[in-house]
Structure 1
Amino acid sequence: MSLVINHNMMAMNASRNLSNSYGQLATSTSRLSSGLRINTAADDAAGLAIRELMRSDIASINQGVRNANDAISMIQTADGALQVVDEKLIRMKELAEQASTGTYTSDQRLIIDSEYQAMASEITRIANATDFNGIYLLNGNLSGSTHSGAGLNATGKLKVHFGSGNNSAEDYYYVQIGTSTASALGVGIGASSSAKGRSISTQELAQKSLDAIKSAIVSKDKIRANLGALQNRLENTISNLQIQGENLQAAESQISDVDVATEMTQFVREQILTQSAIAMLSQANSLPKMAMQLIGG
Structure 2
Amino acid sequence: IGSSTSEKMTVNLATDMTALNTAIGATSGTYTTPGTPGTELTATANATIDLLSTALASIGTVRSALGASANRLEHVYNNLSNISTNSKAATGRIMDVDFASESSKMTTNQMLLQAGTAMLKQSNSMSSMVMSLLQ
TM norm structure 2: 0.58
**Partner of 1:272 in structure 2?**
117
Match of 1:233 among 75, 78, 85: 78
Number of aligned residue pairs: 116
**Partner of 1:95 in structure 2?**
22
Match of 1:218 among 63, 82, 88: 63
Q: 1:257 Cα shift?
A: 1.3
**Partner of 1:249 in structure 2?**
94
Work out which of the two has the higher radius of gyration on C-alpha atoms and give 1 or 2.
Answer: 2
Structure 2 portions without partners, runs of 5+: 31-47
Cα distance in 1 for partners of 2:66, 2:125 equals 87
Q: 1:230 Cα shift?
A: 1.3
Bigger relative contact order, structure 1 or 2 (CA pairs below 8 A, ≥6 apart): 1
**Aligned CA-pair RMSD:** 3.8
Q: 1:289 Cα shift?
A: 3.3
Deviations 1:169-225 (A, max 9, x none): xxxxxxxxxxxxxxxxxxxxxxxxxxxxxxxxxx98765431111011121122122
Q: 1:280 Cα shift?
A: 2.4
C-alpha change, 1:281 and 1:205, in structure 2 (3 Å) is: farther
Structure 1 portions without partners, runs of 5+: 1-67, 103-202, 291-297
Deviations 1:75-130 (A, max 9, x none): x64xx23x11x23311221233344425xxxxxxxxxxxxxxxxxxxxxxxxxxxx
**Partner of 2:126 in structure 1?**
281
Cα distance in 2 for partners of 1:206, 1:285 equals 117
More helix by share: 2
More strand by share: 1
Written as runs of structure 1 = structure 2, the 5 A alignment for 1:55-70 is 69=3
For the residue of structure 2 that corresponds to 1:273, the secondary structure is helix
Cα distance in 1 for partners of 2:87, 2:77 equals 16
Deviations 1:38-67 (A, max 9, x none): xxxxxxxxxxxxxxxxxxxxxxxxxxxxxx
TM norm structure 1: 0.31
Q: 1:239 Cα shift?
A: 3.1
Q: Percent of counterpart pairs with the same letter?
A: 9
Written as runs of structure 1 = structure 2, the 5 A alignment for 1:99-248 is 99-100=26-27, 101-102=29-30, 207-248=52-93
Cα distance in 2 for partners of 1:87, 1:270 equals 80
